[in-house]
């Protein structure tokens, strides 16, 4: 037997017991004739003691142990003279009798400590060592606990977890598919699912009533911090429900997770906001409501006074940063630089301080009287000491998005985005379609199976761009943690939707015929939602990137640098698949 | 709100309540001036009543409802005059006030009943209708319950579920990989995991100590009834353990599943049998021990009497079928035909009946005296009324496998393979290697990471084919439901293993360098096991094929006939992946 206890288990009540432990050498130190070793496993750290006077040979062997050696010891539990209140085993130590080296270890390329000296690249290459760090492992432990709580909640409500296939058909609508050549069906390809969307809808047609799955999803997109080529969804679908039923069910799940995993009781119903209000007041479909700074539109107040930037703008809007009138010229210049960065793209920034006496001191004082500036101040409800920041532009939506970036930056600068405070929001009434410049056609904002709002259905024929959908997103602290919709369950309406999206009937049939056909055999009204598991874990763990809650993540080039994947494959594999690789001139 | 109750919920205590139900029309019948409709959902069936005299218009609309229409009704719960004791809602019926057709339905291509009239092909094409059948849905409900119990058991023992990636590197050792071309890394491919084997070992190097995952695995193999291109493993790994620890842990899981899902208490420890005994006595590494018919070898008894078939055979062995002396000549001829089928390949069958007076009457009486035949009878411990069946051949293993097929066939014919009786067995001490005729080299019988038995390690240099492994399979009713091994945790031993398997150091490095490298940084002793989820569900549900416990299975050509996948993809997709499809002359 390799151990009688783990390294996190022994307490003062175990004193004098003969025990066996196995684990890794965390650190070692000599003091007088004694050698102390911290032995580590997943469960904790226990101090081992070797006494030169009692057993010189054993102590000498202990002195030769390197960091991360794997050892097994037997010994007696002893009460520590100087206790360590920081760890649960801190009252005891082990007087070692026998030492068995189970495996040696090279010196790790970075220190296995909470604050490691290893950079991102080296930690990813040696991910198996990085995962030894408490800070990383605890994220994965949280992930494990979250899936337990998710399943507990959904099972209690009668949801059935159903595994849907990973090898399905390719559907060009949406993001880019990963494809898998089929050997048995030469020249044909499977695709990996971007989500189990159509399959879960088929399960509703099957009468499964309440389905869920913690499902791997795949998108071949260019990557960034919160995206991975494979990610995990808590995918859910319900029959005989309206939007309100789904929102209640999954708001309940969110509250259950907050309570069980973060100890946060969220008693009130979550706020709700229409998509158009979210865009109008926050310039984002996922506003961070941990702080205010709601947008105020100033077109009525500030146009027509000869300031051509504003006079020619389609949109003038601003935010009021409480107490930020202390911002120096240098800080304001930095904010101006911030909004002018190419990825934000504003032309400039207008600011106004509210002085102690209530007067307004702005960067555009030469164009506006104090009376107009006071009107502006009133519009914001600004107080002495506040700072007003204003952007303007030709394109209303673009300018709002710029103002959103400024608002988030100010929230961060003013310390208003506390990772331990959580503000949850449902964004509802999304538009059904959005115009794609690239494709030159309307695209489904959620997906082509989303149900239009009943009252907007007539607009499908006359003004499809104005149609709103029964679609909803949950946003926590400015992160979209999930979303869903009521689905179309009527074959004719689904066919019409494909038509508006520019599918020929043949293309719709080829790609989604199975679904439209299924709808002809008695499809119930249904709808659902998917939560992003990676995002929820990141949010609860306070991580900046979903990568840190994934055991073996990929880098921005989609590579697993530890496995060195992807890689070239054998010619025989290509031959069996009837494939030839032909590199383009400019690729690589 | 679509419903106040489900169709499985109402009882006599609900009489007089106003309720709303939604569901599918299961069947409809007219009696006198009344129309009765069975309304179905996942939870049950409730009888609806429409009375022509009370509401002629409503009743007429009810009469027009077709099978599988989706409807919503409101009405009053009423006590039934003639109760139906077969269903939990059988005491009540609903006197309907309002009827709302939520969706119409074409006539299904087969009946949605427990015993359907639909053949396999049509049911697969319309799998979403097939899944409406209780018989199919209940398999998936069992699957859901099994994953709950698996997780409950493992979580209680401190196992952490960790998701490992689906896009990994290709490793030609083992079965054929499915590969995924990478757009961002032109000319390179990911592979889908055949199992998370190396990744779970890395998690042990990371100190995760106890890992599990209910993981999708992928093998591009030719298919048969108990194989699918994607299947699901309950994948587990533990550190600081010996074989005995793992066997105890997962025998405990098996007992937990039997108890919670089948109500079967398995008090005794499972039987254990060495691989060599399993082959010797049952001709199989997964013997079905629900019945006896242990092989008896007859070389010593039956050679040298001038029967050239036996005299020239390397192996002569038989089974004793209790009470089967009643087999007619026709039945015996059919058994002879059975063993001569090409997929079994025996040359012929020798049989011997034990008569009521104890004499033996055999098909080879002209070669053997009654004294020799009595000796043979004694070897089997056969009694009057028994039938002895004997095969012989040049190749010991091949003949044993033929005899295994005969034994299983006799078990079936004699009704000894009751699906509600479960006999569990650990097969242990597998050989480390097996000779591959195809490859002309030793192959790992389990996989290259399996630890040889400590006492057999010296044989690695002298007689590798004789080396046994710390490997074990669990077999229930002749089905291998899982298996595993203690792994190598020493980089040098792992390198040696690759050498014996014919890997050049370069090839070993290219394919498994990450693992051998990881072993240099303090790998703990570890081992694990994987259970086949599909097989466990099939076993518990009494299914002949794992297909019936998979929501959307593929056929023997790896096709999903419902989705019509795989399929051709767009040229633009191929271009982005730098791929050209070139069909071979003889393909398709």
* Cβ contacts of B148 on chain A, cutoff 8 Å: 151, 155
Indicate if the pLDDT at residue B588 is higher than 50: no
Strand partners, A216: A232
Query: Is A241 in Cβ contact with B203 (below 8 Å)?
Result: no
The residue among A219, B516, A493 whose CA lies nearest residue A501 is: A493
CA–CA min distance B273, chain A (Å): 23
Q: How many CB atoms lie within 10 A of CB A263?
A: 7
Nearest CA in chain B to A182: B566
Q: How many CB atoms lie within 10 A of CB B149?
A: 15
Mark whether B433 and B496 lie in a shared domain.
yes
Query: Is B567 in Cβ contact with A169 (below 8 Å)?
Result: yes
Strand partners, A560: A565
Contact (CB, 8 A) for B395 and B239:
no
CA dist., res. A554 & res. B165, Å (int): 9
| A487 assigned ligand-binding residue | yes
Mark whether A234 and A304 lie in a shared domain.
no
Contact (CB, 8 A) for A474 and A531:
yes
Mark whether A143 and A268 lie in a shared domain.
yes
Contact (CB, 8 A) for B289 and B271:
yes
3-class secondary-structure state, position A361: strand
Total residue count of chain A as it appears in this document: 588
Q: Locate tokens 């494709």: which residue?
A: A439
Mark whether A36 and A20 lie in a shared domain.
yes
Q: Is B334 on the interface with A (CB under 8 A)?
A: no
Residue A574 lies in a domain: no
Mark whether A399 and A450 lie in a shared domain.
no
Q: Is A106 on the interface with B (CB under 8 A)?
A: yes
Q: Locate tokens 């761009």: which residue?
A: A465
Question: Which of A77, A103, A129 marks a domain boundary?
Answer: A103
Contact (CB, 8 A) for A19 and A78:
no
CA dist., res. A253 & res. A248, Å (int): 9
Strand partners, A25: A39
Q: Which of residues 494-513 of A touch B (CB under 8 A)?
A: 513
Residue B88 lies in a domain: yes
Q: Is A261 on the interface with B (CB under 8 A)?
A: no
**Which of A167, A241, A580 is closest, CB to CB, to B230?**
A167
Specify the pLDDT at position B587.
46
* Cβ contacts of B42 on chain A, cutoff 8 Å: 207-209
| A123 assigned ligand-binding residue | no
Q: Locate tokens 């194989």: which residue?
A: B227
Supply the mean pLDDT for chain B. 95
For chain A, give the longest Cα–Cα distance.
94
Specify the pLDDT at position B586.
54
Mark whether B366 and B390 lie in a shared domain.
yes
Strand partners, B181: B189
Cβ contacts below 8 Å, chain A against chain B, sum to: 360
Q: Give the dihedral sign, CA A329/A334/A338/A341.
A: positive
Backbone φ, ψ for residue A11 (5° rounding): -135, 180
| A209 assigned ligand-binding residue | no
3-class secondary-structure state, position A153: helix
**Which of B164, B524, B579 is closest, CB to CB, to A102?**
B524
Specify the pLDDT at position A254.
98
Query: Is B2 in Cβ contact with A241 (below 8 Å)?
Result: yes
Specify the pLDDT at position A118.
86
Query: Is B521 in Cβ contact with A106 (below 8 Å)?
Result: yes
| A447 assigned ligand-binding residue | no
Nearest CA in chain A to B205: A128
Question: Which residues of B participate in the annotated binding site for ATP?
Answer: 219-221, 228, 480, 532-535
**Which of A2, A108, A207 is closest, CB to CB, to B132?**
A207
The residue among A149, A337, A338, A132 whose CA lies nearest residue A255 is: A149
CA dist., res. A34 & res. A434, Å (int): 72
CA dist., res. A132 & res. A233, Å (int): 26
Nearest CA in chain B to A522: B105
Indicate if the pLDDT at residue B216 is higher than 80: yes
CA dist., res. A162 & res. B128, Å (int): 13
Burial class (CB in 10 A: 0-12, 13-18, 19+), A470: buried
Q: Is B242 on the interface with A (CB under 8 A)?
A: yes
The residue among A538, A568, A569 whose CA lies nearest residue A553 is: A538
Query: Is B230 in Cβ contact with A168 (below 8 Å)?
Result: no
Nearest CA in chain A to B196: A552
Q: Is A559 on the interface with B (CB under 8 A)?
A: yes
Q: Which token pair is A541?
A: 């763990």
Specify the pLDDT at position A435.
87
Helix A396-413 and helix A275-282, axial crossing angle in degrees, nearest 10: 70
Specify the pLDDT at position A439.
81
Residue B510 lies in a domain: yes
Q: Which of residues 350-379 of A touch B (CB under 8 A)?
A: none
* Cβ contacts of B140 on chain A, cutoff 8 Å: 160, 162, 208
Residue B76 — left, alpha, or beta (φ > 0 → left; ψ -120 to 50 → alpha)?
A: beta
Q: Locate tokens 């590199």: which residue?
A: A583
CA–CA min distance A229, chain B (Å): 9
C-alpha R_g of chain B: 30
Residue A355 lies in a domain: yes
> Residue B502, CB half-sphere, CA atoms under 13 Å: how many?
11
Query: Is A218 in Cβ contact with B167 (below 8 Å)?
Result: yes
Nearest CA in chain A to B147: A161
CA dist., res. B145 & res. A12, Å (int): 41
**Which of A203, A230, A570 is closest, CB to CB, to B167?**
A230
| A221 assigned ligand-binding residue | yes
CA dist., res. A222 & res. A228, Å (int): 9
Helix A491-500 and helix A505-518, axial crossing angle in degrees, nearest 10: 150
**Which of A176, A182, A199 is closest, CB to CB, to B552?**
A199
3-class secondary-structure state, position B479: strand
Indicate if the pLDDT at residue B226 is higher than 80: no
CA–CA min distance A475, chain B (Å): 25
CA dist., res. B513 & res. B530, Å (int): 24
pLDDT along chain A (588 residues), means of 10: 97 98 96 95 97 94 97 97 94 97 96 88 95 95 98 98 96 84 95 96 98 97 82 98 97 98 95 98 98 97 96 98 96 97 95 97 96 97 98 97 98 96 97 88 89 95 94 97 96 91 89 92 98 97 92 94 94 92 68
Angle, alpha carbons A455-A460-A462 (nearest 5°): 105
Q: How many CB atoms lie within 10 A of CB B480?
A: 17
Residue A486 lies in a domain: yes
Query: Is A183 in Cβ contact with B106 (below 8 Å)?
Result: no
**Which of B103, B105, B582 is closest, CB to CB, to A578?**
B582
Determine the distance from the C-alpha atom of residue A84 to the mean position of all C-alpha atoms in its chain, rounded to a whole number. Answer: 37
Q: Which of A330-334, B19-23, B114-118 has the lowest mean pLDDT?
A: B114-118
* Cβ contacts of A137 on chain B, cutoff 8 Å: 206-208
How many domains, chain A? 3
Q: Is B566 on the interface with A (CB under 8 A)?
A: yes
Residue A169 carries which DSSP code?
A: -
Burial class (CB in 10 A: 0-12, 13-18, 19+), B551: buried
Residue B114 lies in a domain: no
Burial class (CB in 10 A: 0-12, 13-18, 19+), B423: middle
Angle, alpha carbons B464-B466-B472 (nearest 5°): 105
* Cβ contacts of B163 on chain A, cutoff 8 Å: 143, 216, 232, 550-551
CA torsion A194-A196-A202-A204 (nearest 10°) is -140
Specify the pLDDT at position A587.
46
Query: Is A583 in Cβ contact with B186 (below 8 Å)?
Result: yes
* Cβ contacts of A148 on chain B, cutoff 8 Å: 151, 155
Query: Is A70 in Cβ contact with B524 (below 8 Å)?
Result: yes
CA–CA min distance A423, chain B (Å): 28
Mark whether A503 and A544 lie in a shared domain.
yes
Question: Which of A417, A443, A469 marks a domain boundary?
Answer: A417
Residue B319 carries which DSSP code?
A: E
CA dist., res. A112 & res. A118, Å (int): 9
- Top residue of A1, A145, A190, A527 to mutate, by most chain B CBs within 10 Å, is A190
Mark whether A361 and A385 lie in a shared domain.
yes
**Which of B22, B179, B518 is closest, CB to CB, to A128?**
B518
Specify the pLDDT at position A446.
87
CATH of the domain at B313: 3.30.1360.30
Query: Is A184 in Cβ contact with B563 (below 8 Å)?
Result: no
CATH of the domain at A98: 2.40.50.140
Q: Which of residues 166-205 of A touch B (CB under 8 A)?
A: 166-170, 172, 176-192, 199, 202-203, 205
Helix spans in A189-328 (H): 197-205, 243-262, 275-282, 299-302, 308-311
Backbone φ, ψ for residue B264 (5° rounding): -105, 120
Query: Is A552 in Cβ contact with B169 (below 8 Å)?
Result: no
Query: Is B186 in Cβ contact with A587 (below 8 Å)?
Result: yes
The residue among A303, A319, A300 whose CA lies nearest residue A311 is: A303
3-class secondary-structure state, position A147: helix
DSSP class per residue in B197-238: HHHHHHHHHTT--EEEEEEEEE------TT--SEEEEEEEEE
Residue numbers of the domain that contains B179: 137-272+425-549
Residue A281 lies in a domain: no
Mark whether B247 and B300 lie in a shared domain.
no
The residue among B75, B10, B109 whose CA lies nearest residue A522 is: B109
Residue A207 — left, alpha, or beta (φ > 0 → left; ψ -120 to 50 → alpha)?
A: left
3-class secondary-structure state, position A7: coil
Mark whether B68 and B87 lie in a shared domain.
yes
The residue among A349, A323, A345 whose CA lies nearest residue A334 is: A349
Specify the pLDDT at position A588.
43
Mean pLDDT across B319-348: 96
Mark whether B296 and B378 lie in a shared domain.
yes
CA dist., res. A551 & res. A533, Å (int): 13
Question: Which of A417, A449, A477 marks a domain boundary?
Answer: A417
CATH of the domain at A246: 3.30.930.10
CA dist., res. A176 & res. A167, Å (int): 15
Q: Which helix (H) or strand (E) holds B380?
A: helix B370-380
Nearest CA in chain A to B177: A573
- Percent helix, strand and coil across chain A, each rounded to 5? 30, 25, 40
Residue B122 lies in a domain: no
Mark whether A307 and A218 lie in a shared domain.
no
Question: Which residues of B participate in the annotated binding site?
Answer: 173, 219-221, 228, 446, 480, 487, 532-535
Contact (CB, 8 A) for A464 and A433:
yes
Specify the pLDDT at position B585.
59
**Which of A72, A172, A230 is closest, CB to CB, to B166?**
A230
The residue among B106, B103, B550, B22 whose CA lies nearest residue A517 is: B106
Determine the distance from the C-alpha atom of residue A269 to the mean position of all C-alpha atoms in its chain, rounded to a whole number. Answer: 23
Contact (CB, 8 A) for B480 and B537:
no
pTM above 0.90, yes or no: yes
Mean pLDDT across B288-311: 97
């Amino acid at each position: 037997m390799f151990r009688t206890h783990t390294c996190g288990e022994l307490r003062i009540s175990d004193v004098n017991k003969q025990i066996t432990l196995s684990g890794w050498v965390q650190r070692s130190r000599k003091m007088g004739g004694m050698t102390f070793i911290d032995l580590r496993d997943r469960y904790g750290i226990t101090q081992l003691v070797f006494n030169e006077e009692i057993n010189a040979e054993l102590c000498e062997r202990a002195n030769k142990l390197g960091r991360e050696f794997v050892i097994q010891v037997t010994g007696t539990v002893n009460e520590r003279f100087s206790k360590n209140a920081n760890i649960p085993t801190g009252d005891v130590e082990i007087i070692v009798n026998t030492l068995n080296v189970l495996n040696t270890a090279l010196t790790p390329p970075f220190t296995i400590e909470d604050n490691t000296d290893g950079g991102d690249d080296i930690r990813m290459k040696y991910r198996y060592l990085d995962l030894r760090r408490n800070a990383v492992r605890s994220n994965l432990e949280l992930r494990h606990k979250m899936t337990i709580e998710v399943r507990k909640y959904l099972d209690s409500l009668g949801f059935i977890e159903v595994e849907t296939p990973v090898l399905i058909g390719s559907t060009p609508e949406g993001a880019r598919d990963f494809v898998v050549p089929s050997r048995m069906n030469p020249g044909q390809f499977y695709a990996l699912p971007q989500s189990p969307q159509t399959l879960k809808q088929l399960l509703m047609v099957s009468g499964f009533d309440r389905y869920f799955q913690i499902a791997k999803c795949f998108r071949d997109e260019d990557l960034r911090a919160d995206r991975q080529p494979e990610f995990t969804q808590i995918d859910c679908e319900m029959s005989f429900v309206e939007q309100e039923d789904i929102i209640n069910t999954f708001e309940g799940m969110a509250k259950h997770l907050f309570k069980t995993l973060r100890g946060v009781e969220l008693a009130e119903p979550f706020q709700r906001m229409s998509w158009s209000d979210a865009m109008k007041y926050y310039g984002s479909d996922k506003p961070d409501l941990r702080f205010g700074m709601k947008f105020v539109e100033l077109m009525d107040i500030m146009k027509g006074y000869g300031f051509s930037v504003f006079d020619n703008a389609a949109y003038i809007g601003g935010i009021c940063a409480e107490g930020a009138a202390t911002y120096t010229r240098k800080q304001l210049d930095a904010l101006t630089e911030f909004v002018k960065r190419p990825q934000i793209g504003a032309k400039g920034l207008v600011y106004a301080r509210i002085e102690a006496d209530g007067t307004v001191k702005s960067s555009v004082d030469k164009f506006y009287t104090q009376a107009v500036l006071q009107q502006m101040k009133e519009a914001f409800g600004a107080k002495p000491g506040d700072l007003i920041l204003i952007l303007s532009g030709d394109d209303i939506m673009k300018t709002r998005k710029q103002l959103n970036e400024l608002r988030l930056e100010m929230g961060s600068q003013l310390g208003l985005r506390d990772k331990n405070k959580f503000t949850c929001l449902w964004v509802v009434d999304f538009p059904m379609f959005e115009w794609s410049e690239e494709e030159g056609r309307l695209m489904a904002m959620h997906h082509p199976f989303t149900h239009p709002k009943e009252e907007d259905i007539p607009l499908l024929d006359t003004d499809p761009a104005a149609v709103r959908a029964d679609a909803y997103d949950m946003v926590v602290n400015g992160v979209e943690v999930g979303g869903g919709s009521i689905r179309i369950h009527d074959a004719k309406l689904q066919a019409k939707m494909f038509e508006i999206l520019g599918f020929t009937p043949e293309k719709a049939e080829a790609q989604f015929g199975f679904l439209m056909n299924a709808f002809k055999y008695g499809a119930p009204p249904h709808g659902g939602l998917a939560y992003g598991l990676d995002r929820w874990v990141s949010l609860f763990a306070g991580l900046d990137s979903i990568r840190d809650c994934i055991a073996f993540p990929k880098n921005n080039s989609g590579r697993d640098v530890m496995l060195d994947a992807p890689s070239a494959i054998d010619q025989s594999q290509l031959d069996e698949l009837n494939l030839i690789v032909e590199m383009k001139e400019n690729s690589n």
